[in-house]
């Protein structure tokens, strides 16, 4: 042993440089703890531009710094964040420039649940917060599409199930299949490409995106954020048909409709002949009711006005108008009944019948509306109220009980009531001239 003298102090032990001590500690730690699992809560999380991740693990008593290099960080299947309890695997070593000991992590797992499950829940919460799961943004499926698109594996059972159901239910339906991998590396990107490509294709009215059942790892492509956002951006409604009834993916929550199986998706995308006819028949009944009740209400208004003393002189003309309303109602009801009968007898031509029915309904409702407008115009033309609103007056006899509609109805010395639109007054007839005409007051006298 060599003694060292420093300003009068004799040190008999060896003197180490800082770097030497650090190296000794580093070596000791790496030998003692070459690989260790450490459980703790993430704090101070920070991701550098390089992709490296720095954080600390803490428990009730202690804190240890940790670093996750970019190559290892890419393999973490969920989002690290402060407060998350995790279990990290790595080696304990020393960062020599600062003399800090820290854990160099090569694997991270969430405590208490699998990494994929945690990632699934994190993405669900993120998209829900953005409103992508809101029912208000979900679109209804077309009643009877002519062309649908399917994004799935061209060799899987799902595409066979879909085609079998579609062929059985509606052989004339045109199906466009976009082949895509549905699991493994690159599957999510191909699914996104399929959704976007079919969404741009003219004529496609609805999409089915799906595959058969499997483990969470097998179905994971449908839990990827790019797939969810592609579904949300689709210009046409999307049915998610992933796995079996018990399987749920992020795609299910974003899609306009979730089907428990691919076969069920095919059942949903088109209606049976019976259901189609039933829906058309229901719409027919509702429109007929609206037309009937609307005309009945309008006729009731006419009847009510006709009973008013102001309109007693117009009963005949109003009765004629009411009969026209009845005729229109009967005609519309007969047309609708005939169309329903024709539709029921021609299930094979349901679409053509529906189009014909729609045209008849539009025409019938249009005629009804025109009748209402003509009726209203007639009432306005007949109504003395329309006249008095313009500044004219109505003359009543016998204390307002009888209309003085002609000059012959009044005599000199008689008391009458003169009604304006807003108010009335009593008057005494001084003179009566049955020869003078109103137009003479508006004719200019000659030179």
317: pLDDT strictly greater than 90: no
Yes or no: say if 406 and 397 are a contact pair by the CB < 8 Å rule. Answer: no
CA atoms of 394 and 387, how far apart (whole Å): 9
313: pLDDT strictly greater than 70: no
Going along the chain from its start, the domains and CATH numbers come out as: 4-112 (2.40.50.140), 121-269 (3.40.50.2300), 273-382 (no CATH), 394-441 (no CATH)
Angle, CA of 135, 140 and 144, to the nearest 5°:
165
Strands 85-95 and 63-68 turn out to be: unpaired
Q: What is the pLDDT of residue 121?
A: 83
Per-residue H/E/C for 279-316: HHHHHHHHHHHHHHHHHHHHHHHHHHHHCCHHHHHHHH
319: pLDDT strictly greater than 60: yes
> Which is higher by pLDDT, 420 or 440?
420
Q: pLDDT grade, residue 221 (50/70/90)?
A: very high
Q: What is the pLDDT of residue 304?
A: 61
Q: What is the pLDDT of residue 356?
A: 63
- DSSP assignment, residue 441? G
Q: pLDDT grade, residue 268 (50/70/90)?
A: confident
215: pLDDT strictly greater than 70: yes
CA atoms of 118 and 395, how far apart (whole Å): 87
Half-sphere exposure of 94 (CA within 13 A, CB side): 19
Go through 265-276 and write b for each residue having 16 or more CB atoms within 10 A of its CB, e for each that does not.
Answer: bbbbbbbeeeeb
Q: Which pLDDT tens digit goes with each residue over 152-200?
A: 999 988 999 999 988 887 657 889 999 999 998 899 999 999 999 999 9
Q: pLDDT grade, residue 446 (50/70/90)?
A: very low
Q: Which pLDDT tens digit goes with each residue over 133-152?
A: 999 999 988 877 889 999 99
Mean pLDDT across the chain, nearest whole number? 79
Q: What is the pLDDT of residue 430?
A: 83
> Which is higher by pLDDT, 189 or 422?
189
Q: What is the pLDDT of residue 239?
A: 96
Mean per-residue pLDDT, 298-325: 59
Write out the DSSP string of 51-112. S-EEEEEE-SS-EEEEEE-HHHHTT--S---TT-EEEEEEEEEEETTTTEEEEEEEEEEETT
Q: pLDDT grade, residue 15 (50/70/90)?
A: confident
Least confident of 61-70, 200-209, 394-403: 394-403
CA atoms of 394 and 14, how far apart (whole Å): 129
Q: What is the pLDDT of residue 134?
A: 92
For 395, the token pair is: 């003359």
Q: Which pLDDT tens digit goes with each residue over 48-81?
A: 999 999 999 999 999 999 999 999 998 887 888 8
Yes or no: say if 340 and 287 are a contact pair by the CB < 8 Å rule. Answer: no
User: Cβ atoms within 10 A of the Cβ of 374, count?
Assistant: 12
CA atoms of 223 and 279, how far apart (whole Å): 36
CA atoms of 142 and 354, how far apart (whole Å): 14
Give the residue among 391, 441, 379, 444 at the shortest CA–CA distance from 420.
391
**Distance of alpha carbon 148 from the chain centroid:** 20
Q: Which pLDDT tens digit goes with each residue over 75-133?
A: 887 888 888 888 899 999 998 888 889 999 998 888 876 677 778 888 888 899 999 99
Write out the DSSP string of 364-418. HHHHHHHHHHHHHHHHHHH-HHHHHTTT--EEEEGGGTEE--SGGG--TT-EEEE
H or E segment to which residue 211 belongs: strand 206-211
Give the residue among 440, 392, 438 at the shortest CA–CA distance from 418.
392
Strands 147-152 and 4-6 turn out to be: unpaired
Yes or no: say if 219 and 249 are a contact pair by the CB < 8 Å rule. Answer: yes
Q: What is the pLDDT of residue 103?
A: 93
415: pLDDT strictly greater than 50: yes
- DSSP assignment, residue 142? P
User: Cβ atoms within 10 A of the Cβ of 145, count?
Assistant: 20
Least confident of 85-94, 122-131, 223-232, 424-433: 424-433
366: pLDDT strictly greater than 50: yes
What is the SS3 assignment for 265?
Answer: helix
Q: What is the pLDDT of residue 275?
A: 64
- DSSP assignment, residue 275? H
CA atoms of 414 and 430, how far apart (whole Å): 8
Yes or no: say if 59 and 40 are a contact pair by the CB < 8 Å rule. Answer: yes
Q: What percent of the chain lies above the pLDDT cut of 90?
A: 30
Q: What is the pLDDT of residue 334?
A: 72
> Which is higher by pLDDT, 386 or 445?
386
Q: What is the pLDDT of residue 447?
A: 43
Mean per-residue pLDDT, 15-36: 86
292: pLDDT strictly greater than 80: no
Q: pLDDT grade, residue 270 (50/70/90)?
A: confident
Q: pLDDT grade, residue 376 (50/70/90)?
A: low
Longest dimension (CA), the chain: 153
**Distance of alpha carbon 375 from the chain centroid:** 41
Q: What is the pLDDT of residue 198?
A: 95
343: pLDDT strictly greater than 60: no
Q: Which of 171-175, 270-274, 312-316, 350-354 has the highest average model confidence (pLDDT)? A: 171-175
CA atoms of 49 and 73, how far apart (whole Å): 13
């Amino acid at each position: 042993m060599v003694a060292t003298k420093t300003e009068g102090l004799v040190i008999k032990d060896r003197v180490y440089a800082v770097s030497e001590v650090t190296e000794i500690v580093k070596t000791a730690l790496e030998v003692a703890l070459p690989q260790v699992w450490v459980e703790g809560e993430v704090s101070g999380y920070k991701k550098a531009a390089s992709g490296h991740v720095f954080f600390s693990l803490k428990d009730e008593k202690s804190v240890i710094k940790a670093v996750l290099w970019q190559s290892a960080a890419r393999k973490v299947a969920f989002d690290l964040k402060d407060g998350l309890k995790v279990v990290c695997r790595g080696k304990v070593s020393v960062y020599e420039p600062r003399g800090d000991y820290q854990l160099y992590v090569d694997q991270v797992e969430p405590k208490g649940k699998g990494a994929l499950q945690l990632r699934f829940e994190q993405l669900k919460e993120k998209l829900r917060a953005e409103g992508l799961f809101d029912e208000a943004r979900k679109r209804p499926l077309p009643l009877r599409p002519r062309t649908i698109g399917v994004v799935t594996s061209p060799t899987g059972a799902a595409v066979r199930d879909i085609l079998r159901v579609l062929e059985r239910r509606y052989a004339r339906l045109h199906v466009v299949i976009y082949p895509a991998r549905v699991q493994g590396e690159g599957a999510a990107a191909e699914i996104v490409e399929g959704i976007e490509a079919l969404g741009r294709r003219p004529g496609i009215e609805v999409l089915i995106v799906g595959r058969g059942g499997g483990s969470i790892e097998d179905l994971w492509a449908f839990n990827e954020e790019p797939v969810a956002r592609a579904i949300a951006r689709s210009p046409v409604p999307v049915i998610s048909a992933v796995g079996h009834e018990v399987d749920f993916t992020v795609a299910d929550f974003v899609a306009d409709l979730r089907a428990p199986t691919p076969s069920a998706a095919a059942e949903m995308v088109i209606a049976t002949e019976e259901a189609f006819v039933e829906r058309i028949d229901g719409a027919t009944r509702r429109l007929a009711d609206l037309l009937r009740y609307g005309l009945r209400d309008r006729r009731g208004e006419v009847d009510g006005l006709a009973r008013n003393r102001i309109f007693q002189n117009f009963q005949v003309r109003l009765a004629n108008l009411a009969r026209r309303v009845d005729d229109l109602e009967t005609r519309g009801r007969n047309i609708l009944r005939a169309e329903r009968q024709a539709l029921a007898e021609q299930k094979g031509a349901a679409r053509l019948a529906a189009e014909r029915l729609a045209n008849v309904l539009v025409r019938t409702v249009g005629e009804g509306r025109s009748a209402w407008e003509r009726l209203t115009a007639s009432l306005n033309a007949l109504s003395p109220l329309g006249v008095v609103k313009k500044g004219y007056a109505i003359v009543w006899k016998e204390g307002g009980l009888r209309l003085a509609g002609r000059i012959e109805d009044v005599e000199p010395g008689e008391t009458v009531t003169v009604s304006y639109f807003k108010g009335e007054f009593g008057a005494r007839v001084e003179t009566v001239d049955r020869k003078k005409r109103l137009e003479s007051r508006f004719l200019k006298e000659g030179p």
